[in-house]
Every structure is written in structure tokens, then in C-alpha cells.
Amino acid sequence: MTTTSEVQTPLPEPEAPARGPALRTLRAVAVPAQLTLVSCLFSGVPVPDAVMLGGRLLLLVLLCAEAYVWLRLRRLGLSRRESLARLVPERVARYVAHEARILASLVRWVVRRPHGVGEADGVFPHARDQAAMMYGLTFVCVAETVALSFLLARWPVVHAVLLVVDVYTVLFVLGMHAAAVTRPHVLAGDVLRVRHAAHVDIRIPLARITSIRRESLFTHTKKDGELNLPIGSQTSLTLGLTEPVNAPKLLGAPRPVRVIRLHADDPKSLYDAVTRARAASTPAPAPQDAD
């Protein structure tokens, strides 16, 4: 009697649904339709009730479709972050995350809780030299908001919309400065973390730093492989790297760089700290045996 053992191959896991053609088509129709209706309402163009009802139903269908895809992704075992990456285009997600970091920086600025300095060996602020410019720009935005409020008082809808935009602009300007204040450069272990506002956050291993020099520059030319992070149009330190590190752009496009120019309120302290850390991390040469 012979027995045969059957080898069962595992069934392939079901593929998580992505943004299919139906959802993309629905977005392509619903989003421009909503923008058109909003533009008509703001400009005073009369919109028939049937068109308004159709626009609301279209928006409701879009929200239900998005919720349905979200639930399917979650049921297939994807995490919230993975589900969001499947559902939302990467550029949109990165832009929203950037705006969220700006607003979160305002809260951190008020409560005086810097970001990412918990286990740091050295913290190096870099926002001091832009404070006067940012406060002046904020004052201009506030003055513009007040002036437009008086000029547009006769058009309440337009006044309300522009008031929201102007208030958000003021918060955004303050948030950019708050991000610079609450996200300083950080030296932790054998990694230098270089940051700029809320959109640049680069971790550079000290082993990749081939040179660091103090030089004050007030003009910068864009070149491939170089990254300039001026504060108040000034950089005070230049890092040279043995191999490129990725400094992605705002919407996620890769940007390999081998030269980074940055600024610090006390460039000497940052220079000395990096120099000491590099010396400590470099192994001493082995002694040679005498003949």
C-alpha cells in the first residue's frame, strides 16, 4: 500500500484594494463640481435648488465610497498608516502632514516643548536671526486682515471666506517660526539631525561627515547635490559628506545631497560638538609592533 503525500500550496493573500478607476472617476467628477458650486456661491451666481441637491448627493456618495474603501483596507489587516497611504495620494498626504506639523509647532511653542530633544547630547537652536522678520511679516498680515474686514463688510460671504484665509495665513507665518524654534538641530549619539522649519529633517551619520567648516554666507546659488538652509538669508556652517544623503522635497521627491549649508544661533558650539563627536567615534590607529 502506497501513500502519497499531497503538498498544499498556501493560497495567495487577497490584495488590498487601492484607488480603483471607479473611485478615481468619482473624485474627478465630485471635487471639481464642489469647487464650481462654492465659486458660484461666493461670487453671487444663483444656483438652482436641484443643482445644489445634486452636488450634496454627489459629495455624500464620494464620502461613502472613501469610507467603504477605508473599512476594506482595515479588515484586510492594514494599519491606519498603511490604509491612509493606499487611500490618499502621497503628495496630498505629505502636504497635509506638513500643515499639521506647522500647527502642532504652535502648540509646542506655547507650552515650550521642543520636538525630538529627549535623548539629545546637544541641542542647537537656529531661529533667532529670523525672529524680527517673521514678527514683521505677521504684523503685515494682521494689518491686511483688519483692512480687508472693513473693505468687504458689505459682502458677508466674501468677507467670511477671506477672513478665514487671512487668519490661517497669520497662523501659518507664526507656525513657520514656531517650527524653527521648536525643531532645533540635534546631536544624539553618532547622528547629527539637521532641521529647517517643518519640512526638512535629515539624519546624518557622523561617519559620513568628511568636513565641517564655519563660514558665513548671505548669498546662495542652487546647485545639484547641494542643500542650502538659510535663516534670515544666512548660513554659518557647511557640511561635506562622503556620500549623498536623501533630503526629500516638500512633496516627497528625492533629493540626494553631498553638501549642506545650515545656520545655528551659536555656530561655534555646533562646530565644536560635531568635531568632538567625530573624533570620539573615530577609532584610534592600532600600535605597530617594533622590530
Q: What is the pLDDT of residues 89-143, one digit of tens each?
A: 788 888 888 999 999 999 999 999 999 998 888 999 999 999 999 999 999 999 9
Residues 237-267 have pLDDT tens digits of: 999 999 999 999 988 889 999 999 999 999 9
**Other residues' Cβ atoms within 10 Å of the Cβ of residue 17:** 14
| Distance of alpha carbon 270 from alpha carbon 268, whole angstroms | 5
Full-model pTM = 0.76
| Pairing between β-strand 256-262 and β-strand 226-228 as defined by DSSP bridges | parallel
Phi, psi dihedral angles at 176 (to 5 degrees): -60, -40
What confidence score (pLDDT) does residue 220 get?
87
For residue 258, the model assigns a pLDDT of 95
53-62, 130-139, 275-284: least confidently modelled range: 275-284
- When pLDDT is cut at 50, 70 and 90, the band that residue 204 belongs to is very high
